Amino acid sequence: MKRIVLGLLAATALSVSAFAADDKPAVIYDLGGKFDKSFNEAAFNGAEKYTADSGVKYREFEIQNEAQREQALRKFASDGNSPIVIAGFSAAAAVEKVATEFPETKFVIIDAEVDKPNVRSVAFKDNEGSYLVGVIAAKASKTGTVSFIGGMDVPLIRNFGCGYVGGVKATNPDAKVIQNMTGDTPAAWNDPAKGGEIAKSQIDQGSDVIFAAAGGTGIGVLQTAADADKLAIGVDSNQNGLHPGKVLTSMLKRVDVATYNAFKDAADGKFTAGVSILGVKEGGVDYAVDENNAKLMTDDVKKAVETAKADIISGKVKVHSYFSDNACPYK
């Protein structure tokens, strides 16, 4: 009997070891690097939480140019890593190609849709989260002029801008919203100096609340706003702590949760392919309140944004998606 029990224990241990050995997650960050304090860092935080919870280490790579997306995907897949999470819409073509070559490998792309049986596509209703921070901006502004700075001029970022204008105008129809993009190449995601220059220009035009959806470029926006004693709004990750008392809020995009869930689902044998689009109702986007901005979020501001949030969840308010017609109706 003792031998049987020991044999069962050994078999169980072997099966657990084999299962653990198969758990080889990896993450590839987009241009701007994993410590951009924004989009990429959210993916990093999700991966770190998975390691903290499970003890399983992950591989990672920070691309430096466009060609490295496909190279990194193929390298990780060749090495047996799975699932492989890659952040950024620009990776769609590379994921489609490499996922076809490695049909047994699980891939996850964030911010794009790839129709393959081994690919999970996670997108967010950025327009809804941006609408919420637009409401907050309009309530907090003293000048009646607020602004938006996008990174690369692509539909994804115009969707942020459109939602923001919608929230501002729903709260104060007479408000003025200034909008600028940083550029039309991937370099626009990592140019804090230019972000600062644009922010200064907007401040000179009367803006006292600036929402930056620009990756690493946004760090320069937040710094310039703080230096000018104006308010800024962070994006993707909670950036409230970068300049306590000067960052009004942050539009949270739960890339960290998407990354964590991908790793955990694969480890638990529950990985599913297909498209997930996460908005306010699904907990995919939100706004941040903590000790760093608590004094800025007055009862009046919180009441307005919580009402808007409830209206979006109930369907009473439908925030326009720029993707639906490549246009924004809010003026």
Judge if 291 and 179 occupy the same domain.
yes
Write the pLDDT tens digit of every residue in 96-127. Answer: 999 999 999 999 999 999 999 999 999 999 99
What is the residue whose two structure tokens read 């410590």?
A: 35
Spatial CA neighbour of 244 closest among 287, 295, 285, 210: 295
Judge if 71 and 214 occupy the same domain.
no
Spatial CA neighbour of 270 closest among 261, 258, 278: 261
Judge if 34 and 111 occupy the same domain.
yes
Residue type, 96: E
Which structural domain, as residue segments, surrounds residue 296?
126-252+284-324
Q: Has residue 135 been placed in a domain?
A: yes
Judge if 163 and 148 occupy the same domain.
yes
Tokens standing for 285? 């986007």
Contact between residue 281 and residue 241 where contact means Cβ atoms under 8 Å apart: no
Q: Has residue 90 been placed in a domain?
A: yes
DSSP 37-102: SSHHHHHHHHHHHHHHHH----EEEE-SSTTHHHHHHHHHHHTT-BSEEEESGGGHHHHHHHHHH-
Write the pLDDT tens digit of every residue in 242-289. Answer: 999 999 999 999 999 999 999 999 999 999 999 999 999 999 999 999
Instruction: Report the alpha-carbon distance of residue 136 to residue 126 in Å, rounded.
Output: 16
What is the residue whose two structure tokens read 């003890």?
A: 55
**pLDDT at residue 14 in the model:** 31
Judge if 206 and 169 occupy the same domain.
yes
Our count of domains for the chain comes to: 2
Write the pLDDT tens digit of every residue in 4-21. Answer: 333 433 333 333 333 444
pLDDT at 214 over 90: yes
**pLDDT at residue 22 in the model:** 75
Q: Has residue 7 been placed in a domain?
A: no
**pLDDT at residue 17 in the model:** 34
Whether a cis peptide bond, with omega within 30° of 0, leads into 329 is no
Spatial CA neighbour of 125 closest among 256, 278, 258, 236: 278
**pLDDT at residue 30 in the model:** 93
Judge if 44 and 65 occupy the same domain.
yes
Judge if 92 and 121 occupy the same domain.
yes
What secondary structure, in 3-state letters, does 136-188 show?
HHHHHCCCCEEEEEEEECCHHHHHHHHHHHHHHHHHCCCCEEEEEEEECCHHH
CATH of the domain at 318: 3.40.50.2300
Q: Are strands 285-287 and 247-253 parallel, antiparallel or unpaired?
A: antiparallel
Q: Which helix (H) or strand (E) holds 285?
A: strand 285-287
**pLDDT at residue 25 in the model:** 98
Residue 5, classed as helix, strand or coil, is: helix
Judge if 73 and 189 occupy the same domain.
no
**pLDDT at residue 2 in the model:** 36
CA atoms within 13 Å, Cβ hemisphere of 52:
7
| Beta-carbon contacts of residue 120 (< 8 Å; ≥ 6 apart) | 83, 106, 107, 108, 109, 262, 271, 272, 273, 274, 276
**For the residues 33-61, what does the mean pLDDT come to?**
94
Instruction: Report the alpha-carbon distance of residue 252 to residue 55 in Å, rounded.
Output: 27
Judge if 260 and 242 occupy the same domain.
no
Judge if 166 and 291 occupy the same domain.
yes
- What is the gyration radius of the CA atoms in the chain, in angstroms? 21
Judge if 193 and 237 occupy the same domain.
yes
Confidence tier at 32 by pLDDT (50, 70, 90): confident
